Each structure stands twice: as C-alpha cells, then as structure tokens.
C-alpha cells in the first residue's frame, strides 16, 4: 500500500495563492497609486486559469507555459477592475505566482516526508516557476515536475504518467497529494494512489471544495498530518 514516491500539487495544496496574489497586487497597486478590489481581481484571475489551461489541453492554443496564460488573462482583466494602470507592470504581475506564501505546515511536512519517500511537485506551473517558488518557500524536493516537462497540463494523462516514467516507477508505486478532488480523480484513474489534503481557506471562506468527494487513500488536514500518517 505504501508508495515509493509522492507527488504534490502546488497551488492551493502547498501555497496560499489567494492570500499571496491579492497581497502582492495590493502592494503593486499602492506603488502606482491605484486602488481596486484586489481580492476580487485575484479570484477572477484564478477563475481564468482553468479555461486557459483547457484551451491548451484541447489544442485550441499551442503549448505555452503558465506565465503566458497568466499574462494574457491579467491583461484582459485589469481594465474590468479599474486597474489598467498596472498593465506596464505585467511582468511583475506574472512573477507574483513565482513567489507565494506556503501554508504553515508545508515546508516542515515535506521535509519529513522526503526522508522516507521520493518527493516532487506535480504542478501546472513550469519548472522555472516551481524552482523559484520552492526556494522562496523552503520546499526541498528530489525532482521538480513542471508541466513544461510534458508539454501537457493536468488532468492530461501525460502529466501523471510522465512523472511516474521519469521516476522509473509504475503508477501504483506513486501517490498524488492534492487539495483538489478532480486532480485526485484523474490520478486514481491513471493508477496512482491518492492523498486529499483539506485546505478550507484556499478560496477564502470554506466551501464544499475543501471536502473529500471520495474515499481517497489518505484524507488529511495538512502535510504534517500526512507525514504522521505515513510514519515519517
């Protein structure tokens, strides 16, 4: 039952993108003398994430990294939120996602788990983003699986199975840990084990998304809790 490697979803599972992005937007806005509903803009930016990934997944848009998708969606959103004055800072906006605050248990939990298991992020972020984010957050890995290694976004098969292939392990010896039921459903479909990490604050107020929708192999409240249950 115990896997040899554990892959971790990143945005929402290990880092607080909502708190981090909204705070960084507010800082940049303040520097430029712009006020706006930064939390609402953050939610709208995240709202554009899945449709933009799906356009690539369906082949309507050629492969590009998350920075490119983030750039296009924020440029489209800024005027709607009265923040068009931030457009010249678009590279700084895109870079916000390279440095996000970790949930308090993430770095310590990952460190414990890595003592006994092979660990890697498996994210729709690209390697450069994940390397920067991990260094800033104190995450230590055995490998970094960015979507650019596979030129596919989750939940495409190529990401889950590509990560297993790179690690030289059959899917049954690999587990995905994520705060998102649909990510885990895809991982289970492709033969991986699953760990649900509940993150009730990911979208602000707790809602149904923070609850497990199935009997995942592990259901925990934090990475430290997962480390505990894995005997690390």
Identify the sign of the CA torsion 152, 158, 160, 164: negative
User: Which of 30, 142, 182, 228 contacts a second copy by CB under 8 A?
Assistant: 142
Q: Does 135 bind a second copy (CB under 8 A)?
A: yes
Q: Does 217 bind a second copy (CB under 8 A)?
A: no
Q: Does 168 bind a second copy (CB under 8 A)?
A: yes
User: Which of 127, 136, 219, 232 contacts a second copy by CB under 8 A?
Assistant: 127
Closest to a second copy by CB, 141 or 203: 141
Residue 29 pairs in a beta bridge with none
Per CB under 8 A, the segment of 47-55, 120-128, 192-200, 211-219 that binds a second copy is 120-128
Minimum CB separation of residue 136 from a second copy in Å reads 11
Q: Roughly what angle, to the nearest 10 degrees, separates helices 66-77 and 38-47?
A: 130
Contact pattern from residue 72 through residue 101 relative to a second copy, giving x for each residue in contact according to CB under 8 A and a dash for the rest: ------------------------------
Minimum CB separation of residue 167 from a second copy in Å reads 6
Q: Does 118 bind a second copy (CB under 8 A)?
A: yes
Q: Does 108 bind a second copy (CB under 8 A)?
A: no
Report the residue count for the chain.
Answer: 232
Whole-angstrom distance, CA of residue 220 vs CA of residue 227 = 10
Largest pairwise CA distance in the chain: 55
CB-based contact 93:86 (threshold 8 Å): yes
Whole-angstrom distance, CA of residue 106 vs CA of residue 138 = 9
Whole-angstrom distance, CA of residue 104 vs CA of residue 218 = 20
H or E element at residue 71: helix 66-77
User: Which of 26, 143, 219, 232 contacts a second copy by CB under 8 A?
Assistant: 143
Residues binding a second copy (CB under 8 A): 118, 126-129, 131, 134-135, 140-144, 146, 148-149, 166-169
């Amino acid at each position: 039952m115990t896997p040899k490697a554990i892959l971790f979803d990143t945005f929402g599972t290990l880092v607080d993108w909502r708190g981090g992005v909204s705070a960084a937007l507010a800082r940049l806005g303040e520097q430029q003398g712009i006020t706006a509903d930064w939390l609402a803009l953050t939610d709208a930016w995240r709202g554009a994430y899945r449709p933009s990934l799906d356009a690539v997944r369906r082949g309507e848009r050629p492969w590009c990294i998350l920075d490119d998708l983030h750039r296009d969606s924020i440029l489209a959103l800024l005027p709607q939120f009265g923040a068009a004055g931030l457009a010249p800072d678009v590279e700084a906006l895109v870079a916000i996602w390279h440095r996000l605050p970790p949930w308090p248990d993430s770095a310590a939990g990952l460190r414990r788990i890595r003592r006994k298991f092979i660990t890697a992020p498996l994210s729709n972020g690209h390697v450069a983003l994940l390397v920067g984010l991990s260094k800033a957050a104190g995450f230590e890995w055995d490998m970094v699986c960015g979507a650019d290694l596979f030129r596919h976004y989750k939940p495409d098969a190529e990401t889950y199975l590509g990560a297993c292939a790179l690690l030289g392990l059959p899917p049954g010896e690999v587990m995905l840990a994520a705060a998102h039921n649909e990510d885990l459903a895809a991982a289970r479909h492709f033969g991986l084990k699953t760990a649900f990490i509940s993150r009730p604050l990911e979208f602000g107020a707790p809602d149904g998304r923070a609850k497990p929708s199935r009997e995942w192999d592990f259901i925990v409240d934090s990475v430290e809790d997962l480390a505990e249950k894995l005997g690390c």
